[in-house]
A = this chain, B = another copy of it.
Amino acid sequence: MLRISESTVRRMSHYYRFLQEMEDEGQVTVSSQKLAERGNITPAKVRKDLSYFGSFGRRGLGYDVKELKEAIKGILGLDRRWNLLLIGAGNLGSALFSFREFRNAGFDIVAILERDAAKVGKKWGDVEIQDFGLLETVLAEKKIDMAVLAIPAKSALPVAEKLIQSGIKTILNFAPIKLPYREGVTIRDVNLTIELETLTFLLQNQTEVFEKSI
């Protein structure tokens, strides 16, 4: 299979949202031009991105909004639901748990693990916070697709090791630390401090803005 760049996949996510919005607005067809304007990019980029996955448009007419939306839904794997294991029931964990868009997009936090005994036993919605020691039990009982790490930097490394040992293959990591690379394991980092630091770099250096587009 052709190698798809990360940028292309991220843009596919954006296109999906744009198409949802357009569908809600009652638009039936859309051109690569219109889609491009929405994301501040070039029409050629839109067409090239889509071309990696197939031919979805009609020459002279553009794309059927609903049809393209459904196609991208399938490409991104959003035509099914995904089970997330949340690690960490602190402030960030709580925010992630109550983040509506996750459920809307097909992501369900089906288990929560936490080290702090004071929090264990409490329930968020209908999900009980369980002790981190029950990791293996949870993995045996529930089909977990990904883990979401919402714990402090200092405990992230051992916890990640344990998760990987137990067979977790995909981790969304919010701990502000670079987890070491392991063959066969995909880790995606969301490092909020780095986002702020790219901004201070721009403020400080009055440099050209990196990207005003998706």
Binding site for B on A (CB under 8 A): 1, 3-6, 9-10, 12-14, 16-18, 38-40, 75-78, 82, 90-92, 94-96, 98-102, 105-107, 145-146, 152-153, 169-170, 172, 176-178, 181, 186, 188, 190-205, 207-214
Number of copies: 2
A6-B211, A186-B202 given; name 8 further pairs at CB < 8 Å.
A3-B208, A18-B178, A39-B178, A91-B95, A95-B95, A105-B193, A106-B200, A186-B199
**Which residues of the partner chain B approach A13 to less than 8 Å between Cβ atoms?**
191, 193-194, 197-198
**Which residues of the partner chain B approach A203 to less than 8 Å between Cβ atoms?**
77, 82, 145-146, 169-170, 186
Residue of A96, A193, A212 with most partner-chain B CB within 10 A: A193
**A78-B198 Cα distance, complex, nearest whole Å:** 11
Indicate if the CB atoms of A178 and B6 lie closer than 8 Å: no
**Which residues of the partner chain B approach A212 to less than 8 Å between Cβ atoms?**
181
Indicate if the CB atoms of B101 and A1 lie closer than 8 Å: no
Query: Which of B17, B200, B214 is A77 in contact with, Cβ under 8 Å?
Result: B200
Query: Which of B190, B197, B211 is A190 in contact with, Cβ under 8 Å?
Result: B190
Indicate if the CB atoms of B99 and A196 lie closer than 8 Å: no
Shortest A94–chain B CB gap in Å is: 6
